[in-house]
Structure 1
Amino acid sequence: MSIVRDNQETSKSFDKIKWFFVFVLVALIVWGNFYFSEPDAVYQPGTIIRIVGVVVLSALTLLLAMTTNKGKSFITFAKESRMEVRKVVWPTRKETIQTTLLIAVITIVVGLCLWGLDTFFFWGISKLTVLGH
């Protein structure tokens, strides 16, 4: 029992170290993107360095983050979500068009009813107040 607890504590502390390096890499990406963004007159090697650096450091950062417990649970969640999306039965084109038209008609009818009520109440209040003179 104590060995399992020690392994969990070691894993948690190792995850904290990994997350620290993830944040350091993100800060390095932001700093490098800013530092190499100065345009040169003729040739801009900073742009190439910036693009390659951002892509490589981003990939390293994602790989490091995915080795943590949270990263592994995210990967599991993404796989399960993909499986669930495959189970969804999507409506046909005809059903989609019919539903869209029905919603549009209902929206127009409700809008006209509200406009009529608003006009009626405005007319009634204007007759009862100074606005009717």
Structure 2
Amino acid sequence: MSVEAEKQGSSFDSIKWILTIVILGAAVWGNHYYTEQVSVLWRALGVVGAVIVAGFIALQTTKGKDGFSFAKEARTEVRKVIWPTREEALRTTVIVLIATVIMSLLLWFLDGIMVRLVSFLTGLGL
């Protein structure tokens, strides 16, 4: 019986997702179609309203609820992060830039040596 209920819920979820996509598609089409006839403010309000309605319908599905739960958990985890101070970020950036310059110069030097070595071995002078 629970398998039947899950299948029924998933079929309703499919209908809800189709309705969500239709509403969003209608918002895009309406925004494009009424470009000349309606002001930007009313078109923007219509699109925002359609997105809110579509989002509300999507949140009623199983995947929508799971996605919203995931977003809430991710926000909680981001709050736990210890962000670097401005000084630490600046110091790390300078270290990365210096390391990048040093590696670039080293690779440029090695490339020059290899070009000269290959030209010597092949007999083609530069």
The normalised TM-score by structure 2 is 0.87
Deviation, 1:130, is 4.1
The one of 10, 20, 23 aligned to 1:22: 20
| Corresponding residue of 1:79 | 72
Structure 1 gap segments, 5+ residues each: 39-43
Deviation, 1:92, is 2.1
Tell me if structure 2 keeps the 8 A contact 1:19–1:65.
Answer: yes
Structure 2 gap segments, 5+ residues each: none
Q: Distance in 2 between matches of 1:61 and 1:8?
A: 23
Q: Larger RCO: Structure 1 or Structure 2 (Cα < 8 Å, ≥ 6 residues apart)?
A: 2
Which one-letter code corresponds to 1:93 in the other structure? R
Cα distance change on mapping 1:128 and 1:60 into 2, 3 Å? same
Q: Distance in 2 between matches of 1:52 and 1:88?
A: 36
| Secondary structure of 2:82 counterpart | coil
The one of 106, 110, 121 aligned to 2:114: 121
Note the 1:6-85 alignment, pairs <5 A: 6-38=4-36, 45-85=38-78
For 1:69-95, what per-residue CA distance to the aligned partner results, in whole angstroms no more than 9, with x for missing partners? 111001110111111111111122222
| Corresponding residue of 1:100 | 93
Alignment length (residue pairs): 126
RMSD: 1.9
